[in-house]
């Protein structure tokens, strides 16, 4: 253990040792299923905790609790300022417990404690407070109408935004707390009740946060957490007849399955799916800025970021110098456990995912791709993958078109910006992209031609609570964040009065 290793808080040790149940109706409930799901520390592969493997009966109980809380009006009909105050207190409690939450996240997910502190908790707080503020901004419109009958009658119409009902939130394992709050907060701000399911790999932080929501004053039954597999628990939740809306972040394949099932009941769905995100570097770009920005954009959280840059297209005159710049940068990354504050690259989330990412590199090696590798992780049972640059990969390689979701990035030489744009758009995905240039004309013209929900110029992966985020093409449907975020959690009701 290095001198920079963070000591695990006693409260974290106690939380890990608990026999976690399900959080339903404001308290811990045992699961009807006797099977447990192990939680492992990705840094050494050792089991650190376990969670309940909820079945259909558990899910039914959680959704019924959410439904009763919703229809009682205890939350949905509370004055908006009352809901806002409770949600701001919720954020304060998350802040007061930030180190505990950050450590839990690093221990179950593997990422650097620095990233857990700054992103999982720090960004979650930004988003929580932003969304709490939306609670008091929910507004309809007044509408002058021209209904011509009966003769002489006059009408006045207006719209109201009403909460949709019970929301199901399905959360992946790459940012369990942050993405979890992206489901919980808009639902609560809009006046909905929610049942949220974290990934089976990383259930701990949302379980802890549920207690804090109750402590803040969120009424019992409004915020419920069920843990379990996607196939049983996730499916039962997203297909439950009392669920009015599903907010899902995860793989494209699972998202499509959820959308298909939702179509049967016309359940509303927001899908935030994968990406194979391009970065286009024009020959006038600032090389230092490119390397700093795209190293972060590609390797943050070991590349387990849906918005990450994974294909970098570089105009020929800059290509050789940028490849050596990236090589130097990747070789300077230290690889080790997330609890060590001095490491840059940490283990991936699970053995299964480590093997999946390694299979892309095996495929590249078998096909004689040129690989530039950084430092290896510590030997042992940790789920490490060596950070790798793939230079000019052949078109047929799997890592050229599939989402790797690991510390692997392609560097590709292109003759000009038009070729870069054609290759960048030649994907089924359309989540994010970036353009690197000092030429305003080029920036204005290419940003509108790149097919992606978010396009950055001279940065990558920088998201903000006030900036809508979501995918085009196979990267999803609907947008999260921004001033209109709650629209997806509300119904618009028209009211028309004759006078």
272, 315, 403, 491: the active-site residue: 272
Task: List the one residue from 116, 224, 254, 346 that touches ligand TXE (CB under 6 A).
Answer: 254
Task: List the one residue from 72, 126, 251, 447 that touches ligand TXE (CB under 6 A).
Answer: 251
Measured distance CA(82)–CA(273) in Å, rounded? 34
Task: List the one residue from 55, 238, 298, 474 that touches ligand TXE (CB under 6 A).
Answer: 238
Angle (nearest 5°) at CA 152 between 148 and 157: 60
- Closest alpha carbon to 106 in 44, 166, 53, 52: 44
For the chain, what is the radius of gyration of the CA atoms? 24
Task: List the one residue from 69, 123, 166, 171 that touches ligand TXE (CB under 6 A).
Answer: 171
In three-state secondary structure terms, 228 is coil
Task: List the one residue from 58, 100, 120, 200 that touches ligand TXE (CB under 6 A).
Answer: 200
Determine the interface stretch with ligand TXE among 7-15, 113-121, 194-202, 392-400 (rule: CB under 6 A): 194-202
Tokens of 409: 């990035």
* Residue 392 DSSP one-character state: S
- The DSSP bridge partners found for residue 166 are 193, 243
Least distance to ligand TXE from the beta carbon of 249, Å? 5
Determine the interface stretch with ligand TXE among 93-101, 254-262, 387-395, 433-441 (rule: CB under 6 A): 254-262
Looking at the Cβ atoms of 83 and 479, the one nearer to ligand TXE is 479
Measured distance CA(178)–CA(115) in Å, rounded? 11
Size of the site for ligand TXE (CB under 6 A): 26
Of residues 151-170, which lie at the interface with ligand TXE (CB under 6 A)?
170
Measured distance CA(95)–CA(108) in Å, rounded? 20
Site track for ligand TXE across 335-364, x = CB under 6 A = ---------------------x--------
Least distance to ligand TXE from the beta carbon of 352, Å? 8
Instruction: Compute the Cα dihedral for 461, 466, 468, 469 and give only its sign.
Output: positive
Measured distance CA(487)–CA(479) in Å, rounded? 10
With the CA atoms of 79, 80, 82 and 85 taken in that order, what torsion angle do they form, in degrees rounded to the nearest 10? -170
Looking at the Cβ atoms of 272 and 315, the one nearer to ligand TXE is 272
Token match 């806002």: residue?
A: 84
Q: Considering the rule CB under 6 A, would residue 110 count as an interface residue with ligand TXE?
A: no
Look up 272 and say whether it is catalytic: yes
Least distance to ligand TXE from the beta carbon of 349, Å? 8
- Closest alpha carbon to 270 in 241, 250, 289: 250
Contact residues for ligand TXE, defined by CB under 6 A: 170-174, 197, 199-200, 230-231, 234-235, 238, 249-251, 254, 257-258, 272-274, 306, 356, 403, 405
Q: Which residues are catalytic?
A: 272
């Amino acid at each position: 253990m290095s001198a920079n290793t963070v000591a695990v808080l006693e409260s974290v040790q106690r939380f890990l040792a608990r026999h976690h149940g399900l959080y339903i109706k404001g308290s811990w409930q045992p699961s009807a299923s006797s099977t447990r799901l192990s939680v492992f520390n990705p840094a050494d592969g050792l089991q650190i905790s376990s969670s309940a493997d909820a079945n259909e009966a558990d899910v039914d109980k959680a959704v019924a609790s959410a439904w009763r809380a919703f229809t009682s009006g205890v939350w949905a009909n509370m004055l908006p300022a009352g809901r806002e105050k409770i949600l701001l207190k919720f954020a304060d409690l998350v802040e007061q417990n930030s180190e505990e939450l950050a450590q839990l996240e690093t221990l179950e997910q593997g990422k650097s404690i620095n990233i857990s502190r700054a992103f999982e908790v720090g960004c979650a707080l930004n988003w929580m407070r932003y969304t709490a503020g939306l609670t008091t901004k929910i507004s309809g419109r007044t509408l002058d109408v021209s209904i011509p009958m009966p003769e002489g009658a006059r009408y006045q119409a207006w719209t109201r935004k009403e909460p949709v009902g019970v929301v199901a939130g399905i959360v992946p394992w790459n940012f369990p707390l942050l993405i979890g709050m992206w489901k919980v907060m808009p639902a609560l701000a809009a006046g909905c009740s929610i049942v949220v399911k974290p990934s089976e790999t990383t259930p701990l932080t949302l379980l802890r946060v549920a207690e804090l929501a109750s402590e803040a004053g969120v009424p019992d039954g409004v915020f419920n957490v069920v843990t379990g597999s996607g196939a049983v628990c996730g499916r039962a939740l997203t297909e439950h007849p009392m669920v009015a809306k599903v907010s899902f972040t995860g793989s494209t394949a699972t998202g499509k399955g959820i959308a298909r099932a939702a179509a049967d009941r016309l359940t509303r769905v927001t899908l935030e799916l994968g990406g194979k995100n391009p970065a286009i570097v024009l020959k006038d770009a600032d090389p230092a800025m490119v390397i700093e920005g795209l190293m972060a954009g590609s390797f943050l959280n070991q590349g387990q970021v849906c918005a990450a840059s994974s294909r970098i297209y570089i105009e020929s005159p800059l290509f050789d110098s940028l490849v050596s710049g990236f090589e130097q940068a990747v070789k300077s990354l230290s690889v080790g456990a997330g609890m060590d504050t001095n490491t840059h690259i940490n283990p991936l989330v699970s053995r299964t995912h480590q093997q999946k990412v390694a299979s892309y590199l095996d495929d590249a090696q078998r096909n004689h791709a040129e690989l530039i590798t950084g430092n290896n992780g510590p030997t042992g049972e940790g789920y490490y993958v060596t950070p790798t640059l793939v230079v000019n990969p052949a078109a047929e390689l799997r890592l050229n078109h599939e989402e790797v979701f690991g510390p692997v990035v392609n560097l590709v030489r292109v003759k000009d910006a038009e070729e870069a744009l054609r290759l960048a758009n030649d994907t089924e995905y359309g989540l994010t992209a970036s353009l690197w240039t000092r030429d305003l004309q080029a920036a204005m013209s290419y940003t509108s031609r790149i097919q992606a929900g978010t396009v950055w110029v001279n940065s990558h992966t920088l998201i903000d609570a006030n900036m809508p985020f979501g995918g085009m093409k196979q990267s999803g449907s609907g947008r999260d964040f921004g001033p209109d975020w709650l629209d997806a959690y509300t119904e618009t009701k028209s009211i028309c009065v004759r006078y």
